[in-house]
Amino acid sequence: MNFNLFTDVVQVARQEAEAGGFTQLKTAEEVENAFAKKGTTLVLVNSVCGCAGGIARPAAAYAVNHDKKPDQLVTVFAGQDKEATAKAREYFKGYAPSSPSFALLKDGEIKTMVERHEIEGYEGMDVVRKLQAAFDEYCE
């Protein structure tokens, strides 16, 4: 793959997450600081695969337009910001590394995840419903 093309694809993926309201976490320290905050945090584990761009990122942006939603929206980029992604995954106890995926934390503790196998091959609204059901259960 042409390096410039790949760089462009990564940049677009980052911009789509930010446009959806997600703050990028690029270092382990940024992850620790974000996850130390009280309340609920939705983590988008972003990637450049087709199901990230075609399903996960659009579903994330849509899902947060809900009565109950997380206090904080953050993203780490698998394969790009390796240190941040590895640190985030330390918090996802009981779940295998998966990207794209979503983790919902409350007070820094994992409550649930929507893993790649629950995204890939599904319709975007299926993922929205999964996320919003988690928001209903864990967010105020």
pLDDT band at 9 (very low <50, low <70, confident <90, very high): confident
pLDDT band at 3 (very low <50, low <70, confident <90, very high): low
- Residue 139 annotated in active site: no
How far apart are the C-alpha atoms of 41 and 69, rounded to whole Å? Answer: 9
- Residue 51 annotated in active site: yes
Nearest to 64 by CA among 43, 34, 45: 43
- Rounded to two decimals, what is the model's pTM? 0.94
- Annotated domain spans of the chain: 38-138
Q: Is the pLDDT of residue 5 over 90?
A: no
Exactly one of 17, 51, 60, 139 is catalytic; name it.
51
Instruction: Give the CA-trace dihedral at 53, 59, 62, 64, to 10 degrees.
Output: -120
Task: Supply φ then ψ for residue 37, to 5 degrees.
Answer: -70, 140
pLDDT band at 50 (very low <50, low <70, confident <90, very high): confident
Q: What percent of the chain is modeled with pLDDT above 70?
A: 96
Q: Is the pLDDT of residue 127 over 60?
A: yes
Question: What is the CATH code of the structural domain delimited by 38-138?
Answer: 3.40.30.10
For the segment 55-101, what is each residue's pLDDT rounded down to a tens digit? 999 999 999 999 999 999 999 999 999 999 999 999 999 999 999 99
Mean pLDDT to the nearest integer, 38-67: 95
Exactly one of 34, 49, 84, 114 is catalytic; name it.
49
